[in-house]
A = this chain, B = another copy of it.
Amino acid sequence: MKAFVTGAAGFVGSTLVDRLLAAGHTVVGYDNLSTGRRAFLAEAISSERFSLVVGDISSQEQLAQSMLGCDFVFHLAANADVRFGLQHPKRDLETNTIGTFNVLEAMRTCNIRKIVFSSTGSVYGETAVVPTPEDAPFPVQTSLYGASKVAGESLIQAYAAGFDFQSWIFRFVGVLGERYTHGHVVDFCRQLFIDSNNLNVLGNGHQQKSYIYVQDCIDAIFCAIDSAAAKVNIFNLGIDNFCTVRDCVGWITEELALNPTIKFGTEDRGWIGDNPVIFLDTAKIRALGWSSTVSIEDAIKLTVRYVNNNREVALGSSENKPAVSEQKA
């Protein structure tokens, strides 16, 4: 295929690009490099089958110019600053909802009708059904991030009905692994690199979270594209297990061989809109033959090792703006 990947310089995006190239596909990457890192595409750029367009998904025109001739869109570009949605209420709407609309319209212009979309387990809000299946009760949103992703999913579904698009929508739990630059593991590492004796954790640490290793995540996407042929294919992507934030802190400090004083918060969640429990039912994707190969503990330790060995990349600035310090889980 000739694939168009938005968010191509991001953590998951660049890993997807490498995997697509390794599988023999041609790839056009599209990224505004606001949080993506050109360094993640170092290997890809050496391939004749890869090209990078530095562009923003706010420009329908540039999107359409760039994706002309492609036959498959992987739309991963997004504002993933879940925790800071309330400080910039328009950001999620603009990037995740209107941005997705722009991608869809550009696809229509270019007569491309296949799209993969990275959604999130956050769309289930604070569901009462755990582990949460894809057809859980109609959720109530608790974050602007979740709201913007539900809106993106819904637009894609309407384009499938109205314009004969075919779509694969993935609701991720947290993704971990090499090139992870953004979220609670990085935030904890950053704190410990500055002061190895103290660690502050948002929330009481009993939040239950699930994580998937990035290569397992890409395997699942490829599996679904190959095997699921409905117009709208929705899959939870996660692992058949969860951990608490306290487990996670233990594995991080163990991997770094540190023994800091840990100060937990008192709330049952890290911030407004944080889900105290994210644990998805992944029976649907597993029924296609996929299964995860890396445990949560190993995914966290691999991530810590990567961050520790690549401090400049993992903690450093992206090309255009400083990395946002945050603790996302």
Interface membership of A134, Cβ < 8 A: yes
- With A136-B138, A144-B158, A157-B147 already in contact, the answer to whether A90 and B86 are too (CB < 8 A) is no
Interface membership of A151, Cβ < 8 A: yes
A133 to chain B: closest CB distance in Å? 9
- Do A141 and B125 touch across chains, with their CB atoms under 8 A apart? no
Please encode chain A, from 91 to 106, with 1 for each CB lying within 8 Å of some chain B CB and 0 for all others: 0010001100100110
In the complex, chain B residues whose CB is within 8 Å of the CB of A98: 93, 98
Chain A interface mostly helix, strand, loop or mixed?
Answer: helix
Total copies of this chain within the assembly: 2
- Do B273 and A151 touch across chains, with their CB atoms under 8 A apart? no
- With A125-B157, A150-B154, A155-B147 already in contact, the answer to whether A162 and B105 are too (CB < 8 A) is no
Taking a contact as CB atoms closer than 8 A, the residue among B144, B158, B234 that contacts A273 in the complex is: B158
- With A150-B150, A151-B147, A234-B140 already in contact, the answer to whether A158 and B85 are too (CB < 8 A) is yes
Residue of B whose beta carbon sits closest to that of A143: B158
In the complex, chain B residues whose CB is within 8 Å of the CB of A140: 157, 232, 234
Question: Please, could you name 7 A-B residue pairs with CB atoms under 8 Å apart, sorted by A?
Answer: A89-B101, A90-B105, A93-B155, A140-B234, A146-B158, A150-B151, A162-B272
Query: Which A residues lie at the B interface, using CB under 8 A?
Result: 85-86, 89-90, 93, 97-98, 101, 104-105, 108, 124-125, 134-144, 146-148, 150-151, 153-155, 157-158, 161-163, 232, 234, 272-273
Q: A134-B138, A142-B161, A147-B151 are in contact. List 15 more A-B contacts (CB 8 A).
A: A85-B158, A85-B162, A89-B104, A89-B105, A90-B101, A93-B155, A124-B138, A135-B137, A137-B137, A143-B158, A144-B155, A147-B155, A147-B157, A147-B158, A150-B154
